[in-house]
Amino acid sequence: MIKVCSKSLFFNHSLTGKAILIIILIFSCYPQTTFAQKPFKIVIDAGHGGKDPGRPNKSGIKEKDIVLNIALDLGKKLENSGNEVIYTRKKDIFLTLRQRANIANEADADLFISIHCNAFHDHRVYGSETFVYGLHVSKANFDVALKENEVIFLEEDYEENYQGFDPKSPESLIGLTLMQEEYLDQSILLASFVQDNFTKDLKRKNRGVKQSGFWVLHNTYMPSILIEAGFMTNNSEGAYLNSKKGQTEISNSIFKAVEKYKQAINYSNDFNIKPVNENEIVYKVQIAAGKRRLELKSYNFKGLSSLSRIKQGSIYKYFYSSSKSLEEIRRKQKYVRSNGFPNAYIVGFENGKLFEID
């Protein structure tokens, strides 16, 4: 019996507790897989750097330094917990938004976390907020994305590299393709855990989980969030962000959110072929192939479960079911062909090597 779960998309500018609970329930109904674990791969992006100092602060505090300290401390915690961590930067250097997104995509990461601090003309404003990619934005959310995207203007040949994208234009955001759409639920889930920890553990003001058109989130092909850890322009919060205590507490809250996220999605490894003896063949039904790494969730494959995936060169290949019986796998092939995959075909694995059957 194939277990199918419906997927819904629901939030405007921030998520309610009820909506977050629904997302958690959606993920909990997916069947757990039993494949061997591999390290969970996380790209940590310390915003700004080098000639881009980040948000201004009259006290001389630099956003690029604060977020780098948080990123390095977070990375250390995640590595100690058995995760694989890739940093977009580990020192004070300038990176383009394209470089940041490329680092995450080339690493084939499971998560992308970009860390920033906020600023506002009214020094009374404070609190933390976490963003996911989306186009249904308020003016306030657009203004935050606008400031983060404006780093594009510091890049050489930005007009060529970003194909006419104007960070100051709402129309440019509307014109972007929604590459991040398939990862939105996972991104929201992680963002909600981050905000919950900030609020409950650190007693920070919760400005919510929000969506906006950040270029770096739009161009990463995995669940991705951008954290605005607080307002440097608020005297009290700025001092907290610039303190060792504050940076350690913030990184710890993010770390705990990542670990909770992994539990919520029932994280498991890609399927590893391990025959009982060297001549044993395992059969599968190949249902799709492409350059994009899709989560092995039923909503990405028309309700199918019992999914696996391998990467050959730059191409990901996706498979349904697994059996030592060719007769059984032919029945599975007929099933998936009648359920939205008319070109599905049978492959075999011998000694871990793939070959086509028909």
In the DSSP assignment, the letter for residue 52 is: B
Write the pLDDT tens digit of every residue in 94-139.
998 878 888 888 888 889 999 999 999 899 999 999 988 765 444 4
Cα separations (Å) of 127 from 202, 226, 282?
11, 15, 54
Q: What is the mean pLDDT of residues 58-70?
A: 91
- pTM higher than 0.75 for the full model? no
180: closest CA among 128, 256, 114, 257?
114
Bridge partners of 309, per DSSP, are 318
Mean pLDDT of the chain: 77
pLDDT category of residue 358 using cuts at 50, 70 and 90:
low
In the chain, what are the domains? 17-264 (3.40.630.40), 281-356 (3.30.70.1070)
Burial of 195 (C-beta count, 10 Å sphere; 0-12/13-18/19+): buried
pLDDT reading at 26 higher than 80: no
Write the pLDDT tens digit of every residue in 232-254.
999 999 999 999 999 999 999 99
Highest mean pLDDT pick, 28-42, 127-141, 243-257, 278-292: 243-257
Q: What is the mean pLDDT of residues 191-195?
A: 95
Tell me if 253 sits within 8 A of 246, measured CB to CB.
no
End-to-end alpha carbon distance in the chain: 26
DSSP 58-84: TT---HHHHHHHHHHHHHHHHHHTT-E
What pLDDT sits at residue 214? 65
pLDDT reading at 72 higher than 90: yes
- More confident of the two residues 79 and 186: 79
pLDDT reading at 222 higher than 60: yes
